Structure 1
Amino acid sequence: MAESLPADVTDVLAAVLNTDSPVHAALRRQVPHLSVRARCTCGCGTAYFELDTAKVAPALADPGTVVAAEAQLVTEAGECPGEVLAFMEGGYLSWLEVCSWSDDIEVTLAAARHWLRPRS
């Protein structure tokens, strides 16, 4: 259930799956059925999902693993320390990754909630 997802995961998924595209709409319908299976051990907050695929339909997508959504992170100072990527496998959300491009700014999923700038 979405209630069991940590706030950083829920907020970032809502921000990156915010378009009217049919793929994003299908993935948003999956969120209430997601749970976090594991988190990256480095502390970045990257989350790997578990999903009961019998409860929700897949998004129309190419088979295999693809980036379903991405958003650049921009700080209040205008710096771009990284990005967030939502991955799907076979049409199902599989993980949410935060990537750092900077050694000077700590980039975590929690910090990404404040810095998200969705790509067009």
Structure 2
Amino acid sequence: MTGDLPSDVADVLGVLLDGDDPVHVALRAQIPHLRVSERCTCGCGTAYFDLDTTAVQPAPATPSILIADAQICLENGDRPGEVLVFAQGGYLSWLEVCSWSDTTEVTLALAQRVLCR
């Protein structure tokens, strides 16, 4: 776990923000300073963040608030949903879990195990 950040959130952010892209590098540096302010009540795992913006630098400007995404890939080939990372003003804002399935319960815990990369 990173500070007070739940391990499922920290793990998925680490996977989605992997690599040498300058935006991802800057956003990864924010992870130790994140706190989950709210989670979706449906159980999907979507998390909204609070961040002390005085403790970190903003990421370079991007044309979109959607920073990274990955589909959830099951062993049987099904792709029941995806996980998306959003930033606003150069700061991590929220991690969203989206379901496309009526038969598979899509959660952050599932995504933590089977993200397509």
2:19 is aligned to 19
Give the superposition deviation at 1:78: 1.3
Cα deviations by residue, 1:2-38 (Å, 9 ceiling, x for unpaired): 2211111011001100121000000000000000000
1:58 is aligned to 58
3-state SS of 1:14 partner:
helix
Could you tell me which amino acid in structure 2 is paired with residue 84 of structure 1? V
3-state SS of 1:24 partner:
helix
Matched-pair contact (CA < 8 Å) for 2:3–2:33 = no
Could you tell me which amino acid in structure 1 is paired with residue 114 of structure 2? W
Cα deviations by residue, 1:48-98 (Å, 9 ceiling, x for unpaired): 0000000000001247x6101111110111110011000000010000001
Is 1:109 the counterpart of 2:91? The answer is no
Give the superposition deviation at 1:47: 0.3
1:37 is aligned to 37
1:74 is aligned to 73
Report runs of 4+ in structure 1 exceeding 4 Å deviation: none
Unaligned runs of 5+ in 1: none
Unaligned runs of 5+ in 2: none
Aligned residues: CA RMSD? 1.4
2:97 is aligned to 98
Matched-pair contact (CA < 8 Å) for 1:2–1:35 = no
TM-score between the two structures when normalised by the length of structure 1: 0.93
Distance 1:83 1:19 in 2: 19
TM-score between the two structures when normalised by the length of structure 2: 0.95
3-state SS of 2:68 partner:
strand
